[in-house]
């Protein structure tokens, strides 16, 4: 990460489960997504398995970074 202080993770819990929203600096978006989406898919698989352990549905959303 070239700008780790810009990473922000918010969670929202409702009847559908938990939604984690990840916001990063624009220059770090590619690092989170990875080549052909491999990095974010790996993160999603880990979070999904963790959620299954605790009988909870967890989803991940990457939000568009705000332009400054």
pTM, two decimals, is 0.80
What torsion, rounded to 10 degrees, do the Cα atoms 38, 42, 47, 52 define?
Answer: 120
CB 12 within 8 A of CB 19: yes
Q: What tokens does 27 get?
A: 């220059």
Across 8-26, average pLDDT: 93
Q: For residue range 32-44, list pLDDT tens digits in order.
A: 999 999 999 999 9
Looking at every residue in the chain, the average pLDDT score rounds to: 90
Q: What tokens does 54 get?
A: 């605790």
Going from the N-terminus, what domains does the chain have, and what CATH number goes with each? 4-62 (3.30.300.20)
CB 62 within 8 A of CB 33: yes
The pLDDT of residue 67: 63
Residues forming beta bridges with residue 61, ordered by sequence position = 21
The pLDDT of residue 3: 85
More confident residue, 2 or 62: 62
């Amino acid at each position: 990460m070239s700008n780790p202080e810009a990473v922000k993770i918010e969670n929202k819990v409702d009847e559908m489960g938990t939604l984690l929203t990840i916001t990063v600096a624009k220059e770090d978006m590619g690092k989170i997504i990875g080549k052909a989406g491999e990095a974010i898919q790996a993160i999603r698989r880990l979070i999904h398995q963790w959620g299954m352990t605790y009988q909870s549905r967890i989803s991940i959303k990457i939000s568009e970074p705000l332009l400054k």
